[in-house]
Structure 1
């Protein structure tokens, strides 16, 4: 099951290549472009309204991030979702997500804290629609990563969150309790806003562990 609306397109504009990257990544992560599906850069450029050059730059970045793969003389395809990768992805996230949560609690600016507080309100009012919840989940993660004030950590975590969310979307029809999983972010956001780094780290670790446990429960 894929999410049907754009998650990344509304983020900071950046270059045309950045915008193309976010639009294509959204389709890949939420499975609007299915695993194994061929990627035609001319068709995507026409659909998104970008030139071929920014689309090709975006595709190079997406290949580096393991969302697409290019084969000589065969073409470019969305990568298959390998469940064997779940452990590897969780291993990295279990180290970096608590780090990010703790740094966000320590470093968040007033503007960051205002945004996280706004997201807490949005979370409380969120619907139970799978599309809305997945989109909100990704927005919450990105707000936390941005609050670390470490662009290298932010970029790394976005990459791994994309891969994890792709696995989540693949099993969405079989996973119970999506709303509960997303609403776990409430106490985490509150801990960051309250500058409680220790609590934020513990909650982030529990969130990653819960994600892996949920996926393994249906495979």
Structure 2
């Protein structure tokens, strides 16, 4: 089904608001002033509301009756819970991707790997670029899994975990730290090796700053597997 111009405008508003919230340019608990957003993004009220409803489903925005839309808060417990869910989703995604990846997925992964290697060679330490490459990798695997529900869940929880990292001022690993994992994941997909894909993904997640938080038990779980 083709998207209408309203859908397209709503998609753009959604992407921009998601970016602002994830990077904490819109602070947790803050009111989203619709008139201000409409002016800033040159948006109509209907596509803005559509975008806000999508963000509600992503747990990035909450709708308070008769008060408006607010950026959601994040607690210490949320940090642990988000990462627990991500571990389960991402290891399944890696396994399924290894089993189901099509040639176009492999080509896209190879292109992403070349982009990452070129960025490393150029000394690109821009955090936004590094996070975009990493998110692309995770969502590409989710698409290759062939499971649209898994894809939407991973996209949602990836955004939540990155927002937590921004809020906590945690050190975030760069593409240069993870490029070997990317190469191994591509090799696992080419070999249809689901065990290798899962193992590599779990190691990749162990390098995430959130994995060092007490109670995560990432190392114990990955070794047990």
User: Structure 1 length normalisation: TM-score?
Assistant: 0.82
Q: How does 1:26-175 map to 2 (within 5 A)?
A: 26-126=19-119, 127-172=124-169, 174-175=170-171
Deviation at 1:56, TM superposition (A): 0.3
Shift of 1:124: 1.4
The structure carrying a bigger helix percent of its residues is 2
* Map of 1:213 onto structure 2: 211
1:128, 1:117 → 2: CA distance? Answer: 21
1:179-212 C-alpha deviation (Å, 9 max, x unpaired): 4554343422332244322111111122233323
Q: Deviations over 1:149-168 (max 9, x none)?
A: 21111011111111111112
CA shift in 2, pair 1:177/1:21, >3 Å: closer
Q: Could you list the runs of 5+ residues in structure 1 that have no partner in the other structure?
A: 1-13
Aligned residues: 203
- Structure of greater Rg: 2
Residue 223 of structure 2 is matched in structure 1 by none
Counterpart for residue 3 of structure 2: none
Aligned to 1:5: none
Deviations 1:5-25 (A, max 9, x none): xxxxxxxxx643233222211
SS in 2 for 1:103: helix
- Cα 1:182/1:26, change in 2 over 3 Å: farther
State whether residues 14 and 52 of structure 2, in contact with CA within 8 Å, keep that contact through their aligned partners in structure 1.
Answer: yes
Structure 1, 55-64 or 19-28: larger mean CA deviation: 19-28
Q: CA deviation at 1:59?
A: 0.5
SS at match of 1:125: helix
Q: TM-score of the superposition, structure 2-length normalised?
A: 0.80
5+ residue gaps, structure 2, are 1-6, 215-225
Output the aligned Cα RMSD: 2.3
Residue 73 of structure 1, CA deviation: 3.7
2:131, 2:163 → 1: CA distance? 10
Aligned residues of 1:81 and 1:166 also touching (Cα < 8 A): no
2:13, 2:43 within 8 Å by CA — same for their partners in 1?
yes
